[in-house]
A and B are shown apart, each in its own frame.
Chain A
Amino acid sequence: MDKKRKKNFATFMFPSLLVLVIVLAIPMVYSLVVSFFDTSLKHRGLGNFTGLQNYIAALTDKYFMSSAATTFVFTIGVVMLEFLLGLGIALLLNTNVRGKNIYFSIIIIPMMITPVAVGLTWRLLLHSELGIVNYVLDLIGLTGKAWLADSKLALGTVMFIDVWQNVSYMVLVLQAGLVSLPMEPYEAAKVDGSSALQSFRYLTIPMMAPAFMTVLLMRAISALKTYDLIYVLTKGGPGISTEVISYHIYQEAFRDLELGSASAMSYLLVLVIIPIAVCFVKISKQKN
């Protein structure tokens, strides 16, 4: 890169970098500092330095650990379901089925709805007494359930709603990947007598691996941060059956006003995400 190009590069990058520093780097550093203090929104200033106390308190808090476990189950469940469903739908849409553009348009609608609206709508649909889901089940002779009020069903119900909304994201990305695959290897495999399953196993999966990794990584990180749906649908209840880590941190920060411990909890979550992210990136590199 010559001198002039370097200068232009720096000039054009500066505004973006400045914005990133202001909205990303400064809050990040500030929240890291706050995590070592007993900062409360009830009082001005940082409060007293407490060292690692907020981190130790979080790790010995049974409700924080329970929310971490719930988050783990939720993330693994929704990401795997969305991936498998999304891949299946994307493969179907990649065939010469008639009207596939119409199906595609319909399938991506849920992705365009804000999670709060999705939550409110499903809360109405799943209302145990006045909701249409139980009404329809009743019409066909099945017993309706208290989908969001039964601690054994609530997490599964929230996961179903998350899958309903986000499977379209998987379809969108995977369909784009499938469309961009070269046709030559498939034609060669066909000439060699390869079955559709063999083509999928030995051509599609290896060639789509980077897309798989990207979509799994992005959805896993997004699922780990799930907050909106829980807030609208259950507020973590019944009991603590749907209390995920983001909702727990929200309670700590904005209900209990304990910003110090909420920041520590956020950074503990980051410590969990780092190995996952590194792992995904390494796998992606190997596949490439």
Chain B
Amino acid sequence: MKKMVAALLICSLTASMLVAGCGSSESTGSTENGGDTGSTGSSGSREINILMEEVPDTTIVQNQIAAFEEETGIKVNIETIGYSSMHEKLLTQMIGATNAYDVVVVDCYWVGEFVTAGWLEDLGPYIEKSGFDTSQYVDSMMDMVGQVDGITYMIPFYNYMMSLIYRTDIFEDETLRTAYQTEFGMELTMPEDLEGYVELCKWITAQNYDYSGVVMQGARPDPTVVEWANYLFSCGGDFYDADGKVAINSEEAVKALDLYIDCMTNAAPEGSKNFNLDEAFNVFAQGDAFSFISYNWMIPKLDNENESSVTGLSELIPIPNGSSLNAGWGWGIPTNAPDKDSAWEFIQWIESAEVTKERALEGGSPTRADVMNDPDVLEKWPYLETVCEIMEDSKMFPIMEDATQLVEVLGRELSLAVAGDQTSQEALDNVSAEMADMQ
């Protein structure tokens, strides 16, 4: 009997560890200045904590906060963390009585969930009181990471709209040009549609040079979902149709997945099926791929000789005859934040025209139209002009309460289809069936 009790205890311990313990293993992000929960120091000085993702825009913000601290006397602690751990880290804070963070950055597909749950403060009164001008933000950014049903919950921070990035020097390679001309009887240029682009990638890979036609980010769940969304939109598909009915298994969507699988299987390095954005970037930055669909803020990284061996050789263009996935992050204040006034003071400072322009010049990805069209910014980063153009035709991930769940389901089914375990139609029918129960 005693042995039985011992065995039961071991098993119960396992159960409680499974439920309570498996949510935070990768929260190993670097922490700057601690990140404790107190918002007011022992001396009464004001202090705010912010949770941010480890991306270039965050690094730039970290370099800017000293000026804010000097100007306002408010100490800012920025805790950085990898994207994959961010949602659950935020979640545990949002559902509590008090929050460790005064300011949070919210990814576009968390918006529906956060707003429905009532986790984000209505910023309207703060905007009105301070006279903060939100009219300068690009409309699509305000629609995505700004307002929901006319209420402003966030101020757009940076955009990560995706598009096609390719190596310009490869099109100038005489050997490749001649081979292409001989085989197809036409000049080597970027095709005008997505099918042509996939065929070009396959052809380049088949030439057996020391680079492939494309590198892709096929890891579950987010990387593959956001990449495939570009194929979906470019083939004329969408998550929902105009009447709000699930359309993820439409003819266009199936075609998009067939093309995606074709490109992944026959043009991309085999490892692409498990690459995340960093790994895909590294392959491209090492000169091992002709093209990849990625975030527009990759261009400054690719032009940085400390991070890339293809500096000055990358160009961002629209997806051939297609629509890009528009995406972005917004600054928000949790409803359970300890110091909302200081939080707002920080947000309006970091999003002021002067500070956002400074961030854009450092390689940040702006969301304000005045900054995107600023002559100094455009002179340094001419690709932003293309970003503005692409953004006009871009589409966004649906804003819905169960968006995170949709990403999980879609990521799993896409991955199964790419692995050859099911057809495109079967994969998307499965997603459609599960989407029917999502809000």
A262 adjacent to B274 (CB under 8 Å): no
Once A129-B288, A149-B218 are accepted as A-B contacts, the answer to whether A270 and B282 lie under 8 Å apart by CB is: no
CB distance from A152 to the nearest CB of B (A): 9
Which of B1-9, B126-134, B252-260 lies on the face that meets chain A? B1-9
Interface size on B, residues (CB 8 A): 58
> Judging by beta carbons under 8 Å apart, are A267 and B87 in contact?
no
**Is A250 within 8 A of B23, CB to CB?**
yes
Q: Across the two chains, which residue of chain B brings its CB closest to A259?
A: B19
Cβ B412 vs Cβ A282 within 8 A: no
Could you mark each residue 140-179 of chain A with 1 if its beta carbon is under 8 Å from any beta carbon of chain B, else 0?
0000011011110010000000000000000000000000
A263 in the interface (beta carbon within 8 A): yes
Interface string of A220-234 (1 = CB under 8 A from B): 010011011001101
Q: How far is the CA of A154 from the CA of B8 in the complex (A)?
A: 33
B66 within 8 A of partner (CB): no
B271–A146 contact, CB under 8 A?
yes
Report how far A231 CA is from B407 CA in the complex, Å. 16
Check A266 against B7 for contact (C-beta < 8 Å). no
Say whether B20 contacts A27, CB under 8 Å.
yes
- Decide yes or no: A270 and B279 within 8 Å by CB, A127-B271, A256-B405 being known contacts: no
Does B15 contact A31, Cβ atoms closer than 8 Å?
A: yes
Residue-wise, chain A 188-226 has the 8 Å CB interface mask toward B (1 for contact) of 000000000000000000000000000001000100110
Instruction: Name the A residues within 8 Å of B84 (CB-CB).
Output: 231, 235
CB of B419 closer than 8 Å to a CB of A: yes
Residues on B with beta carbons closer than 8 Å to the beta carbon of A227 = 22, 25
Does A249 lie at the interface of the complex (its beta carbon under 8 Å from any beta carbon of B)?
yes
| A255 CB contact (under 8 Å) in B6, B117, B405, B421 | B405
The answer to whether B220 touches A235, judged by C-beta atoms less than 8 angstroms apart, is yes
User: Is A100 at the interface (CB under 8 A from chain B)?
Assistant: no
Contact B117 A237 (CB under 8 A): no
Residue contact A255 to B274, C-beta cutoff 8 Å? no
Which residues of A (120-153) have their CB < 8 Å from a CB of B?
Answer: 127-130, 145-146, 148-151
**Contact at A273–B11, with CB atoms within 8 Å?**
yes
Interface check B77, CB cutoff 8 A: no
Contact of B28 among A116, A127, A249, A269 (CB under 8 A): A116
> Smallest Cβ distance from B147 to chain A, in angstroms?
21
Q: Which residues of B contact A270 (CB under 8 A)?
A: 11-12, 14-15
Q: Are B408 and A255 in contact (CB under 8 A)?
A: yes
Query: Contact: A266 with B19, CB < 8 Å?
Result: yes
Instruction: Find the B residue at minimum CB distance from A31.
Output: B19
Which one of A3-11, A72-80, A101-109, A238-246 is at the interface?
Answer: A238-246
Within 8 A of A (CB), among B257-302: 269-275, 279, 282-283, 286, 288
Select A273's contact among B14, B273, B279, B282, beta carbons within 8 Å. B14
Q: Decide if B219 touches A237 in the complex (CB within 8 Å).
A: yes
Let me know if A28 and B12 touch, CB within 8 A.
Answer: yes
Decide: B269 and A254 in contact? CB cutoff 8 A. no
Is residue B91 within 8 Å, beta carbon to beta carbon, of the partner chain? yes
Interface residues of B in 168-199 (CB under 8 A from A): none
B274 x A228 contact (CB < 8 A): no
State whether A249 and B19 are in contact (beta carbons under 8 Å apart), knowing that A235-B219, A254-B91 are contacts in the complex: yes
Contacting residue for A128 out of B91, B270, B405, CB 8 A: B270
Question: How many whole Å from B274's CB to the nearest CB in chain A?
Answer: 4
Closest to B413 in A: A239
CB distance from A145 to the nearest CB of B (A): 8
Q: Taking CB as reference atom, which chain B residue is nearest A267?
A: B15
CB-nearest residue of chain B to A256: B405
In whole Å, how far is A13's beta carbon from the nearest beta carbon of chain B?
Answer: 16
B436 on the interface (CB 8 Å rule)?
no
Contact indicator A130/B26 (Cβ below 8 Å): no
B113 — which chain A residues lie within 8 A by C-beta?
A: 42
Map CB proximity to A onto B93-121 as digits: 1 under 8 Å, 0 otherwise: 00100000000000000000100110000
Q: Report A-chain residues with C-beta under 8 Å of the C-beta of B219.
A: 234-235, 237
Interface centre among B18, B23, B286 (most CB of A within 10 A): B18
Query: How many angstroms from the CA of A31 to the CA of B19 in the assembled complex?
Result: 8
**Cβ B273 vs Cβ A129 within 8 A:** no
Interface residues in B1-50 (C-beta closer than 8 Å to A): 3-4, 6-8, 10-20, 22-23, 25-26, 28
Closest A residue, CB atoms, query B13 = A24
B10 interface neighbour in A231, A262, A277, Cβ under 8 Å: A277
Asked if B286 and A255 make an inter-chain contact with CB atoms under 8 angstroms apart, the answer reads no
Tell me whether B418 is interfacial, beta carbon within 8 Å.
Answer: yes
- Contact A246 to B7, CB < 8 A, known contacts A42-B117, A256-B408: no
A237 touches B220 (CB 8 A): yes
A183 within 8 A of B: no
B3 and A240 contact, CB distance less than 8 A = no
With an 8 A cutoff between CB atoms, is A251 at the interface? Answer: yes
B356 within 8 A of A: no
Does B164 have its Cβ within 8 Å of any Cβ on chain A?
no
- B388 interface residue, CB < 8 Å from A? no
Q: Is the CB of A231 within 8 A of B14?
A: no
Decide yes or no whether B246 CB sits under 8 A from chain A.
no
B3: chain A residues at CB < 8 Å are 278, 281-282, 285
- Return the 3 tightest CB-CB contacts between A and B, nearest first: A128-B271, A146-B270, A239-B419
Given A128-B271, A236-B220, A281-B6, 4 further pairs, Cβ under 8 A: A24-B16, A149-B271, A254-B88, A255-B405
Task: Please name 27 pairs of A and B residues whose Cβ atoms are closer than 8 Å in the assembled complex, sorted by A.
Answer: A27-B16, A27-B19, A31-B15, A31-B19, A42-B113, A42-B116, A129-B269, A146-B271, A146-B274, A149-B272, A151-B420, A228-B26, A237-B273, A239-B412, A250-B23, A254-B23, A255-B408, A266-B18, A270-B11, A270-B12, A273-B11, A274-B7, A277-B10, A278-B3, A281-B4, A281-B7, A282-B3
List residues of A whose CB falls within 8 A of some B CB.
Answer: 24, 27-28, 31, 41-44, 63, 115-116, 127-130, 145-146, 148-151, 154, 217, 221, 224-225, 227-228, 231-232, 234-241, 246-247, 249-251, 253-257, 262-263, 266-267, 269-270, 273-274, 277-278, 280-282, 285
